[in-house]
Structure 1
């Protein structure tokens, strides 16, 4: 800030001008070393008091709300004076507030001069009350008044033009210094907020000097990569080694596209942590060019998004499970409808015929209808058993006991029943009499055996032989059911146990819903056992069930 010299006064001497300029240069150098507003105000007050040879000076600033003026630093005034005038409303009738409101300097050569211009404030004229001369100049930055600089004298004194210019120059210096301090504080607060946000979100920042291939990382990156600060990658190739091999080329390609073509760098990838764990990161970056348009540096952020990726994977699994459930439900309805239709139709039709024409039918015809009704009722009963197991599996309520089961006796009972169902099939039982008991549940194991024997008889056909044999190992009792059917296609051994699976080569010639073997596997697993299928070398298929031996075997 400059003050126009009074043309009636002679020009200041060269010595005085040199002294003022030297003093201003010293102040400028000192101000460059600090961004503390109170330290800045102290430097300016000291310079004003020294240059104008007075022990009293002050700097006041407008408070952030724009409603008051607050003394930032003062020297030469008593505590009661500072206590009274340390903070006053901007509307107060005081020289310092008037200078702030009007943006114009105010000078008083003496107390009498002040009394003539401001009689209402003669007794309470602010910090200069009780003194003689005083001067107040506004502190302005870009046309906006942010405070005032003032000095007071114990004797009457009128500042000449060069003294006023000097005081105005100091006001200009303090304005620039306080504005710099404000900007620095705002920048520091912004940086602190940004750093807090980065830390709170687990985000690290990085810079890549492209010509020198030098990477600089923030401390958060060390945490992200679970490495000490001196272990983080120093260059691009070293950094790429931290990335999962399956993602490495994709990340390298994204970086090349950003550097060579300016494409946005925004990518999610996996990294390998020192402990071997996989971590998902999200990287975002931008390439900056030098004045010649060459890639100079790349700035970016990295954030751990493992939790989100795991949540997304879990969500995808849930949605896939929901889709699979819907698919199975639709398939279940279709299969059950088909499987129920034949036995219900046979039973319904047969019983109606018997009820209406019993006396008219020949005995052989009646017997055949009754046989068909009984067979389809048995088929319906078995289907209901399988559906009950499916329901319990879906609800997680498939509970089994750990009672001892004598496999030989169970086989005898089930085979006797199946011989009645399949009179044209031979059942060859080869079970040693000393076979130990197994641990399971008699009802469930019977259901498994009926399914396996029924399938073997159905696919082997009339005149075939179904072989049932068993043996024991130190840990298990093994049951094997072999048939003389078409066998198992390559790669089908595991698929056979999937729900609703039907072999393409058999589906057209043999009825079925693809439920029985799935039920067998669920029941065997529930009893702590294993079931598998294999193709026999001489044709046909073999199903092997292994169940744990009963620990306290007391059944001979």
Structure 2
């Protein structure tokens, strides 16, 4: 009786110590929120309750492998090699935790040397190498019954745990399962928040969250920057938002916000902001109000994007469309004029076709030059001149070009000047310096400021050594070219021109205003 009484008293003492230990562990889990520290507290408690020399805690990664794999979170007593070997455990391994993963039930092996499913496996070799002789693994389940991990204890000798110890371990396992489930939830939440933060940064979104009742507002970092504030430079508020709206847009934007609140509709608008440095930015805002049961607005959340570049692109596109329409009208007028003049002077239909096709080709070349230009770029005179000489296959050995390169022409003058240069070059090949042996062509040009404060381009086209034909000294081509230079250029380009047929060739001068972009020269 005395021995039994002593054993009973020792058992009660052990149970009391274990209960106190579980209570202390619970307090420690609440007090220390660091995952690794909490894992270690659980393992210390498991090893103490089970009187084991080793312990391990694993979490199930359901997305890894075909049926999920167990990842080692923490351990007690493993060598580095053993910890590396059991860092990931799949269902087809020969450990107790792999068997518990397959069955979903607790596995107890009192002697690894006699466990049939371990014989001849790498797991048994590592048990031996680590000095482990007996193992138990208890599955950890979430509150809804989903397997989420394993809690194992290991002994250095043959051992079978008592039922009382396993019942206490189950209490600790419940706490471990809750901890792992919480950690998985927090990890998923952190990953979700990181994805959201990345999406917000990549998307250039500025977010706001407004407590309408208290006036408290939260702005994301990008929202501060969109309004021209440094991050945390001011306390987020309705007033600080309104203060940065452009004065011309403020009343309308605030009215739209108030309407969305009262009508319970989505707030969608685009407005300008005015930054302290004078910069104006366009912002597109979209948000919605939330209401209590009484219909009172209590909260508003929304997002903003910077649409300044899109607005600038739209403005550029409108300007380009307007320019295209203007050029098209001008081009049609030029084509009509060329067609009428060519038809009036043509001898017959083949003659009309040849001259008209040649002049349309000149127009096509200049349109090609204009279409390749970016904003603020201009066709240059030397580029245009060389293109027309190349088009008539001029022998450049007999041509002297003398003038500055890169003289920018007004876009509105390029088509008409092209036609004039085309006529001069074409006639030089047919009747003048580029079609007769021994003749030569000199083209000189320079830019100077006129009395009207405009920049003027002066062009001197001089042919020499030409054997002039008797009487008119020219054909239809010179007549059309002369008409273009003496009448069209002064009328359309405000040019001053001269056209003279000398005894040994043509002398033509053209003075015309050019782009103010040449001021930098």
What residue is the counterpart of 1:254 in the other structure? Answer: 256
Partner SS, residue 227 of structure 1: coil
Q: How far apart, in 1, do the equivalents of 2:274 and 2:238 lie? A: 16
Name the CA shift for 1:197/1:132 in 2 (closer, same or farther; >3 Å).
closer
Name the CA shift for 1:173/1:244 in 2 (closer, same or farther; >3 Å).
same
What is the CA-CA distance between 1:140 and the residue it aligns to? 2.2
Q: How far apart, in 1, do the equivalents of 2:226 and 2:515 lie? A: 45
Kindly indicate whether the alpha-carbon contact (under 8 Å) linking 1:94 and 1:121 is maintained by their aligned counterparts in 2: no
Q: Mean alpha-carbon deviation: is it higher for 49-58 or for 27-36?
A: 27-36
Q: Deviations over 1:353-376 (max 9, x none)?
A: xxxxxxxxxxxxxxxxxxxxxxxx
Partner SS, residue 243 of structure 1: coil
Which residue, out of 296, 299, 302, partners 1:297? 299
What is the CA-CA distance between 1:154 and the residue it aligns to? 4.5
Q: Deviations over 1:186-213 (max 9, x none)?
A: 2212222322332234322222221233
Partner SS, residue 296 of structure 1: strand
What residue is the counterpart of 1:520 in the other structure? Answer: 494
Name the CA shift for 1:404/1:318 in 2 (closer, same or farther; >3 Å).
closer
What residue is the counterpart of 1:265 in the other structure? Answer: 267
Kindly indicate whether the alpha-carbon contact (under 8 Å) linking 2:97 and 2:137 is maintained by their aligned counterparts in 1: yes
The answer to whether structure 1 residue 111 and structure 2 residue 107 are counterparts is no
What residue is the counterpart of 1:179 in the other structure? Answer: 181
Kindly indicate whether the alpha-carbon contact (under 8 Å) linking 1:111 and 1:131 is maintained by their aligned counterparts in 2: no
The answer to whether structure 1 residue 310 and structure 2 residue 308 are counterparts is no
What residue is the counterpart of 2:473 in the other structure? Answer: none
Q: How far apart, in 2, do the equivalents of 1:210 and 1:87 lie? A: 50
What residue is the counterpart of 2:387 in the other structure? Answer: none
Which residue, out of 158, 161, 166, partners 1:159? 161
Kindly indicate whether the alpha-carbon contact (under 8 Å) linking 2:111 and 2:134 is maintained by their aligned counterparts in 1: yes
Q: How far apart, in 1, do the equivalents of 2:511 and 2:248 lie? A: 36
Name the CA shift for 1:102/1:38 in 2 (closer, same or farther; >3 Å).
farther
What is the CA-CA distance between 1:28 and the residue it aligns to? 4.0
What residue is the counterpart of 2:362 in the other structure? Answer: none
Equivalenced residues, count: 377
- Stretches of structure 1 lacking an aligned partner (at least 5 in a row): 1-9, 349-387, 408-437, 445-512, 531-556
What residue is the counterpart of 1:134 in the other structure? Answer: 135
Q: Deviations over 1:386-440 (max 9, x none)?
A: xx9662468999x9745899x9xxxxxxxxxxxxxxxxxxxxxxxxxxxxxx996
Q: How far apart, in 2, do the equivalents of 1:518 and 1:43 lie? A: 93
Partner SS, residue 217 of structure 2: strand
Name the CA shift for 1:15/1:308 in 2 (closer, same or farther; >3 Å).
farther
What residue is the counterpart of 2:43 in the other structure? Answer: 45
Name the CA shift for 1:305/1:19 in 2 (closer, same or farther; >3 Å).
farther
Name the CA shift for 1:520/1:222 in 2 (closer, same or farther; >3 Å).
same
Matches within 5 A, 1:53-132: 53-63=51-61, 64-66=63-65, 68-79=69-80, 81-108=82-109, 110-111=110-111, 115=114, 120=119, 125=124, 131=132
What is the CA-CA distance between 1:54 and the residue it aligns to? 3.0
Q: Normalising to structure 2: TM-score of the pair?
A: 0.59
Kindly indicate whether the alpha-carbon contact (under 8 Å) linking 2:59 and 2:149 is maintained by their aligned counterparts in 1: yes
Q: How far apart, in 2, do the equivalents of 1:283 and 1:404 lie? A: 51
The answer to whether structure 1 residue 194 and structure 2 residue 192 are counterparts is no
Kindly indicate whether the alpha-carbon contact (under 8 Å) linking 2:272 and 2:282 is maintained by their aligned counterparts in 1: yes
What is the CA-CA distance between 1:100 and the residue it aligns to? 1.5
What is the CA-CA distance between 1:20 and the residue it aligns to? 5.2
Name the CA shift for 1:238/1:150 in 2 (closer, same or farther; >3 Å).
closer
Partner SS, residue 226 of structure 1: coil
Kindly indicate whether the alpha-carbon contact (under 8 Å) linking 1:284 and 1:301 is maintained by their aligned counterparts in 2: yes
Which residue, out of 205, 216, 219, partners 1:217? 219
Matches within 5 A, 1:150-549: 150-154=152-156, 158-232=160-234, 234-331=236-333, 344=344, 391-392=415-416, 401=446, 518-520=492-494, 526-527=512-513
Give RMSD over aligned pairs.
Answer: 4.6
Q: Deviations over 1:244-294 (max 9, x none)?
A: 122222321221232222222232211101111111112222222235442
Kindly indicate whether the alpha-carbon contact (under 8 Å) linking 1:59 and 1:148 is maintained by their aligned counterparts in 2: yes
Q: How far apart, in 2, do the equivalents of 1:328 and 1:218 lie? A: 52
Partner SS, residue 166 of structure 1: helix
**Quick one: higher RCO (CA 8 Å, sep 6+), 1 or 2?**
1
Name the CA shift for 1:395/1:218 in 2 (closer, same or farther; >3 Å).
farther
Q: Deviations over 1:65-106 (max 9, x none)?
A: 145434322113444544554444421222221112111012
Q: How far apart, in 2, do the equivalents of 1:396 and 1:152 lie? A: 100
Highest Rg: 1 or 2? 1
What is the CA-CA distance between 1:131 and the residue it aligns to? 5.0
Kindly indicate whether the alpha-carbon contact (under 8 Å) linking 1:35 and 1:180 is maintained by their aligned counterparts in 2: no
Kindly indicate whether the alpha-carbon contact (under 8 Å) linking 2:135 and 2:154 is maintained by their aligned counterparts in 1: yes
What is the CA-CA distance between 1:518 and the residue it aligns to? 4.8
